[in-house]
Structure 1
Amino acid sequence: MSQEVVAKRYADALFDIGQEKSKLDTFQEEMKTLRKVTLENRSLESVLGHPRIPADRKKELVTSSFKGFSEEVLHTLHLLIDRHRTDIIVPLADRFLEKVHIHQGVQEATVYSVRELTEDEKQRLSRTFAPKVGKDSLIIDNRVDPDLLGGVRIRIGNRIFDGSVRGKLDQMERELLSANNRG
């Protein structure tokens, strides 16, 4: 079975438990942390996947590393260890967070700007662009890109809204080139 299918099943089960026990917010924070730690520490993934390290030692490592995590999330991690599926931790976290965002009516967006945006600017962008993608609000990840010259470029899922000076200059160049090719 593919990694994505298995990750989806675990994420769906954890989401259902979170809803049932009113712990979605807790699980969401824990899954964000788990995802970040796993991506930033590739050695953790190799230790958890190592065939010569006993499952009990791996479980002890997970329990001590993620002290304070909910019993349900730790239990899920222990199941992944027992079933030799620790390779799906990141896809599981991604799928879980995606389900929570859908449930909450939010979506992540990457906003590229020449300078760091203020909270007020982020909120205005969220109010403006969330309805364009059918969401209530956006979780904005602001990235500074001095090549834009001015304005912003927003990526929401697979859609890009380009209001940057660089984007407008590129568009003008394409239009001029196509006009020259026709005439």
Structure 2
Amino acid sequence: MSNHAVAKRYASALFQLAKEKHDLKKVNEELQSVKTVVETTPELVQFLNHPKITVKQKQALVQESFKGLSDISVNALLLLIDRKRTDIIVPMVNKYKELAYEEQDMAEALVYSTKPLSEKEQNHIAKVFAKRAKKSKLEVINIVDPKLIGGIKIRIGDRIYDGTVKAQLDKLERNLTAGTR
């Protein structure tokens, strides 16, 4: 079974448990923190994957490092260590987030802009594009990309709304070159 399928199974089980405990949002926030730690700390990944370090030592480190998290989140990590599946932590967290957002009728919107957007601008984008995405709420994540020249580009799932100056210039270039043939 591929890592993606395994991550999906663990995420589904974790999702069901969090849903029963009415902790979808809290567990999602905790897992996002875990994902950030795993992605930014290669030493932790090396430690968790090292064959000479015992499962008990790995679990002790995780319990100590993440003791502020809920039992649901910590136990999920301990289970992954016990089953030697630490390689699927990030894909599992991503799938869990997807399931939790779907349950809450939410989506994540990556908004690329040349400068940081104000809270008011982010709220306006969330309101307008939530309707287009057929969701009740959007979580806006602003990514500053100075290469855009101007405008914004929004990615919601696999849909992209590109209102950047760069996209308009590219379109103009395509139209001009197509017309000269």
Bucket of the pairwise TM-score, normalised by the shorter protein: over 0.9
Counterpart of 2:21? 21
AA aligned opposite 1:180: T
> 1:86-109 CA distances to partner (integer Å, 9 max, x unpaired)?
111111111111111111111112
Mapping of residues 108-127 of structure 1, within 5 Å: 108-127=108-127
Uncovered stretches (5+) of structure 1, i.e. residues with no partner: none
What CA distance in whole angstroms lies between the structure 2 residues aligned with 1:147 and 1:21?
44
Deviation at 1:146, TM superposition (A): 2.4
1:173 matched to 2:173: yes
Counterpart of 1:62? 62
1:91 matched to 2:94: no
What CA distance in whole angstroms lies between the structure 1 residues aligned with 2:21 and 2:114?
43
1:146 matched to 2:146: yes
Equivalent position SS for 1:116: coil
What CA distance in whole angstroms lies between the structure 2 residues aligned with 1:107 and 1:18?
19
Counterpart of 1:37? 37
- Which range is displaced more, 90-99 or 148-157? 148-157
Counterpart of 1:104? 104
What CA distance in whole angstroms lies between the structure 1 residues aligned with 2:51 and 2:134?
45
Counterpart of 1:164? 164
Percent same amino acid at aligned positions? 43
Counterpart of 1:47? 47
What CA distance in whole angstroms lies between the structure 1 residues aligned with 2:75 and 2:150?
48
AA aligned opposite 2:123: Q
What CA distance in whole angstroms lies between the structure 2 residues aligned with 1:25 and 1:128?
23
What CA distance in whole angstroms lies between the structure 1 residues aligned with 2:146 and 2:33?
30
- TM-score, L = length of structure 1: 0.94
What CA distance in whole angstroms lies between the structure 2 residues aligned with 1:63 and 1:160?
40
What CA distance in whole angstroms lies between the structure 2 residues aligned with 1:153 and 1:72?
36
Uncovered stretches (5+) of structure 2, i.e. residues with no partner: none
What CA distance in whole angstroms lies between the structure 1 residues aligned with 2:26 and 2:166?
41
Deviation at 1:47, TM superposition (A): 0.7
* CA RMSD, 1 decimal: 1.2
Aligned length: 181
What CA distance in whole angstroms lies between the structure 2 residues aligned with 1:88 and 1:47?
15
Mapping of residues 125-144 of structure 1, within 5 Å: 125-144=125-144
Equivalent position SS for 2:141: strand
Counterpart of 1:6? 6
What CA distance in whole angstroms lies between the structure 1 residues aligned with 2:22 and 2:74?
17
Runs of 4+ in structure 1 deviating by more than 6 angstroms, as ranges, are none
- TM-score, L = length of structure 2: 0.95
Deviation at 1:149, TM superposition (A): 2.3
Deviation at 1:55, TM superposition (A): 0.7
